[in-house]
Amino acid sequence: MSTSNDPHAAHWGALAAAAETIGALCTTEQARELCAAIDRLSDAIMRHEPIDMVLHCPACGEQHVDAPEPSVEHDHGAVEFPAWDNPPHRSHLCHGCGHIWRPADVATNGVREIKTQGKNDSVRRS
């Protein structure tokens, strides 16, 4: 799957080695679920789609949820902040303290909660 033009080529070998180890440690069903999750993540990386993540500011701890926002304009017409349509991005601005951080080297999207829950996950509190 890796090619010389693939920016993630170094990771494919590591994924293949991990898959062999996983196959030795997991049941067939667990291995299938994990492989499906890896495939979805790999597909998202290759398409450069943002990965939904629960994000908290590392400086103040406030949860960061990405969403489109209207522009902030003053009565006299000056635009303080242009409208934000939430394009794919890697750096995030905390609305609580102004800290800017990058949680990953791929585009991420801050969400209130993730959409899935694994069979072995702790019970999610709502």
Same domain, 90 and 57: yes
pLDDT given at position 98: 94
> Does 56 lie in the same domain as 107?
yes
Are both 35 and 54 inside the same structural domain?
Answer: no
As a whole number of angstroms, the distance between CA 110 and CA 84 comes to 14
Is the same domain home to 40 and 80?
no
Do residues 50 and 89 make contact, with C-beta atoms less than 8 angstroms apart? yes
| Domain membership flag for residue 123 | no
Domain identity same for 58 and 106: yes
Whole-angstrom distance, CA of residue 124 vs CA of residue 100:
28
Examine the domain organization and report whether 61 and 104 are in the same domain: yes
Helices (H), the chain: 9-25, 28-47
Q: Quote the pLDDT of residue 13.
A: 67
74 shares its domain with 89: yes
Number of domains in the chain: 2
Per-residue pLDDT 10s for the chain (126 aa) are 444 565 556 666 666 677 677 666 667 777 778 878 877 777 766 667 888 999 999 999 999 999 998 888 888 878 777 888 988 899 999 999 999 999 998 889 999 998 888 888 887 665
**Which residue range(s) make up the domain with 109?**
50-114
**Domain-embedded: residue 120:** no
Cα distance between residue 86 and residue 22, in whole Å: 36
**27/79 same-domain check:** no
Same structural domain, 55 and 104: yes
β-strands 51-53, 108-110 pairing:
parallel
- List all residues 6 or more positions away from 59 whose beta carbon is below 8 Å from its beta carbon: 94, 97, 99, 101
